[in-house]
Amino acid sequence: MSTPEPRLSDTSYVVLGLIARFGTMTSYDLKQAVAASVGYFWSFPHSQLYAEPVRLAEVGLLTEDREESGRRRRRYRLTADGRRALQNWLATPDDGRVELRDPGLLQLFFADLTGREEVVSLAEAREALHRDRLATYERIAASLYAGDRAEVGNLTLRRGLYAERAAVRFWSELRTELTEG
Amino acid sequence: MSTPEPRLSDTSYVVLGLIARFGTMTSYDLKQAVAASVGYFWSFPHSQLYAEPVRLAEVGLLTEDREESGRRRRRYRLTADGRRALQNWLATPDDGRVELRDPGLLQLFFADLTGREEVVSLAEAREALHRDRLATYERIAASLYAGDRAEVGNLTLRRGLYAERAAVRFWSELRTELTEG
DNA sequence: GGGTACATGTAATCAGTTACATGATTTA
DNA sequence: TAAATCATGTAACTGATTACATGTACCC
């Protein structure tokens, strides 16, 4: 209670969580881990994965331990406070907004300001994009399919599958309606 | 080609698009319009709806015309350049990232660091949230249902319906699996 | 041994958020 | 006529994005 309650963002929790999971990480490790997992639905540039741990170390949620030799990497670990902050966050369902941020949807929202042509190619492009992502997720799922379906690692992936299927359905329906209508 | 190609964000296009649609708008009008439509899937604080048009006016995509009397409101209109910029954007399918930003999903991603209890209440909370939103969208859809299903105004709403249904399915399945498994 | 890609970081800028502030209008 | 709420705006801050910079390893 002595420190003035540092404000933690979702980004902070990504960092804390990954370090909690893997024990010790450099910023580059974080970058890799993000790219291979959360990055699919929660991405940010790697520069944040350098800046954020520094902040977290400043407020005592991480320890920073810099190599003396060669690359002088900074290795981060969780402190007791860090673990507490993380548990605390995990224990209370976040009521933050869920947002489907899709520039394509924004364009569709303004479809009335443009021609049918443009909307058709928008729908085509977006359908293709989501089919791609769906395929990617399905490949990943297949490769994981030794394990239990409800295993945690698979859960966010499953969420991705559902979301992508909905997206494909939407855009392809739209395309059909526009070209056959 | 004389001006140095102002960088336009998605926010810029929301502003340009709404002004294109309605002709003349104050920042407050924008705020209202956003809250009632795009805001559902692309939100930002009202302060940006004051700041952004100022920038757009500076780079010549809007004209600003300030009331002399009483409230001295700024009324914005599209310039020819503004319309061109907008058409231009609409004519090229944006290849920007689609992201499902959901803090709850982030928590789920770190479910391995916590107990089953916490995950259950997370799933319950999220299921409830999405059922709510689904209900809202369904009410809106019902009230619009005089018109054609494929009418543009309804399209982003339909997208919302699909997305919310997928979300409800996901979280309620998860809850079931966790409590019955 | 020169090029290319990976690894690691910093700096500057800019957009987004929070917070504050106050005038106008309605309502109790 | 006081309180509450709507309307309108600005300022300060901070987090995110872009861009730059350079070291190290590997590949041809």
- pLDDT at residue A176 is higher than 70: yes
Q: Give the minimum alpha-carbon distance from A101 to chain B in angstroms, rounded to a whole number.
A: 5
pLDDT at residue A83, rounded to an integer: 96
- The predicted model gives A66-78 an average pLDDT of 80
A89 chain-B contacts, CB cut-off 8 A: 107
A75 touches chain B (CB under 8 A): no
CB count within 10 Å of CB A119 equals 22
pLDDT at residue A181, rounded to an integer: 65
pLDDT at residue B150, rounded to an integer: 55
CB count within 10 Å of CB A42 equals 21
Q: Give the minimum alpha-carbon distance from B107 to chain A in angstroms, rounded to a whole number.
A: 6
Q: How far apart are CA B122 and CA B111, in angstroms?
A: 10
Dmax over CA atoms of chain A, in Å, equals: 68
Which pLDDT band, with edges at 50, 70 and 90, does A2 fall under?
A: very low
Size of interface A-B (CB pairs under 8 A): 201
- The predicted model gives B107-113 an average pLDDT of 95
The 3 state secondary structure assigned to chain B is CCCCCCCCCHHHHHHHHHHHHHCEECHHHHHHHHHHCHHHCCCCCHHHHHHHHHHHHHCCCEEEEECCCCCCCEEEEECHHHHHHHHHHHHCCCCCCCEEECHHHHHHHCHHHCCHHHHHHHHHHHHHHHHHHHHHHHHHHHHHCCCCCCCHHHHHHHHHHHHHHHHHHHHHHHHHHHHHC
- The predicted model gives A8-12 an average pLDDT of 95
**Among the ranges given (A38-52, A56-70, A109-123, B110-124), the one the predictor scored with the smallest mean pLDDT:** A56-70
- pLDDT at residue B27 is higher than 70: yes
Q: How far apart are CA A99 and CA B43, in angstroms?
A: 8
- The predicted model gives A122-134 an average pLDDT of 96
pLDDT at residue B71, rounded to an integer: 66
pLDDT at residue A147, rounded to an integer: 58
Which pLDDT band, with edges at 50, 70 and 90, does A1 fall under?
A: very low
pLDDT at residue B5, rounded to an integer: 60
pLDDT at residue A39, rounded to an integer: 94
Which pLDDT band, with edges at 50, 70 and 90, does B97 fall under?
A: confident
CB B13 within 8 A of CB B53: no
pTM, two decimal places: 0.91
Express each pLDDT in B132-180 by its tens digit: 999 999 998 988 766 555 565 689 999 999 999 999 999 999 999 999 8
B41 touches chain A (CB under 8 A): yes
Q: Give how far Cα B180 sits from Cα of B92, B165, B177, Å.
A: 49, 22, 5
pLDDT at residue A3, rounded to an integer: 47
Can you say how many angstroms the Cα of residue A89 is from the centroid of all Cα atoms in its chain?
17
B109 touches chain A (CB under 8 A): yes
- The predicted model gives A91-100 an average pLDDT of 90
What nucleotide is nearest B6 when CA is compared to C1'? C14
- 3-state SS class at A74: strand
Express each pLDDT in A75-92 by its tens digit: 999 999 999 999 999 999
- The pLDDT mean for chain B works out to 90
- Helix ranges restricted to H, A78-151: 80-91, 103-109, 116-144
Give the CA angle between residues A62, A65, A71 to the nearest 5°: 130
Percentage of residues in chain A having pLDDT higher than 70: 89
